[in-house]
A and B are shown apart, each in its own frame.
Chain A
């Protein structure tokens, strides 16, 4: 193996140190006020997520949604085993870590090839949103129906056979027989 020049190594170390100092002081309020979640919008309109409101509700405990990625102290003992001192990471958005192609062959093969990976069961982007948002909304008695957060598009109505695509009223019971 080639030896890395000492001065280069120290420069990199210094840069890393500066960066981690900079990011660990990132606090609530530094985040965006609003986030438009549209990466999955097909059947539903994009979601306008009021980030500022949720900072208020969570009393600026970023870890409730962002795990350890903002350098916030966490209390899950299992996470602490590795992330107690890992500080803030450069990627804090949901889609930075949670893949929108969770079950495509490429992603599955990548996980399969890496036998040192601990987070093998990391949910995809859509599930990361829905599990995190809905479980909390349920606890807080907040609106939790599909269309409470995102209005359905025309494609969505077609998909669900709802709205203008709804089947005609019928006295027959829903099909269920064998």
Chain B
């Protein structure tokens, strides 16, 4: 039997290590590409054909989350005359859309869509955000430093900022009533308040089936698409509509890739740049200037 010498052993272990790292890497890449969210994640299917814009969901959210009193009553429907966005005082708002060719407007409730792979979470450098197995995207305001990167990262323009707070401004957004309800298997306050079941709460996987069933049963009523089933890698909150989605204020150009996938490769390079580059370029610099240094030395010796 041949004895294994030192050189062979090193060669073998290097090759093995390299192979293992390649396999490991490709396995990781495969896993991250196929992550479609937690299997037991809950969600809400919003059926725009049922909404009459009563704003009960807004009132329920205000009460549940202990938000400041609104500037106008929640039964004041004049606020629907202009388009609103979520804010530090309102984690959900309803907007009205006049649809050309339809005699009825459509109403669309906006809140955090609770992405399967949230861009806000990826962008947050203090890791304030968490995607829970129940489906909620929650955040820890005590670690939030107020950089507002998540506001830029969110494809739905959802996170708001407490500009009114002088001493400790933080991010504010819908948390799917995680602390008070979702954690205990209960639907969020807005779902419970909705009089016409515009909002259906359930397992995300079941809601997708349910949405397609509604479309199949009434193909003339619905657009053949569930917004959020695949958009930006899928969201926990999804929408059905009787009008093309771009006519009710949805961005239909977001694609189906999670925002994360656009920056993943760049982000993996960042630590490498920060650790290897300084040493590498310092080395280059020393090599490049060595001759000069030698010449200088020679000169000084001559003189």
Report A's interface with B, CB cutoff 8 A: 78, 102-105, 108, 112, 120-121, 123-124, 126-127, 130-131, 134, 146, 159-162, 166-167, 170, 172-178
Contact = CB atoms under 8 A, between A and B. Distances in A.
Contacts of A146: 54, 75
- For chain B, which range describes its interface: under 10, 10 to 19, 20 to 34, or 35 or more residues? 35 or more
B196 A127 contact: yes
B87 A175 contact: yes
Name which of A102, A131, A161 has the most chain B CB atoms within 10 A of its CB: A161
A144 to B, nearest CB: 8
9 contacts: A102-B197, A103-B186, A103-B192, A112-B203, A159-B60, A160-B73, A161-B70, A170-B71, A178-B85
Given A166-B73, A167-B72, A175 B206 contact: no
A101 to B, nearest CB: 10
Given A120-B210, A134-B196, A176 B75 contact: no
Interface in B67-103: 69-76, 79, 82-85, 87, 89-90, 93
B77 to A, nearest CB: 10
Contacts, number: 95
A127 B69 contact: no
Given A104-B187, A121-B210, A123-B197, 7 more contacts: A103-B201, A104-B186, A108-B202, A130-B196, A159-B59, A176-B83, A178-B160
B225 interface: no
Contact of B203 (A78, A108, A134, A162): A108
B144 interface: no
B50 interface: yes
A174 B161 contact: no
B200 interface: yes
B186 A105 contact: yes
Contacts of B213: 120-121
Contacts of A161: 59, 62, 69-70, 73-74
B82 A103 contact: no
B226 interface: no
Contacts of B197: 102, 123-124, 126-127, 131
Contacts of B54: 146
Contact of B70 (A78, A105, A173, A175): A175
Interface in B192-209: 192, 194-197, 200-203, 206
Given A121-B210, A161-B70, A127 B187 contact: no
Name which of B52, B54, B195 has the most chain A CB atoms within 10 A of its CB: B195
B59 to A, nearest CB: 5
A98 B74 CA distance: 28
A175 B89 contact: yes
Nearest to B214: A121
A124 B196 CA distance: 9
A126 B50 CA distance: 13
B203 A176 contact: no
B191 interface: yes
B185 interface: yes
Closest 10 CB pairs of A and B: A127-B197, A105-B185, A176-B84, A103-B187, A162-B73, A103-B201, A160-B74, A130-B195, A174-B79, A130-B196
A176 B82 contact: yes
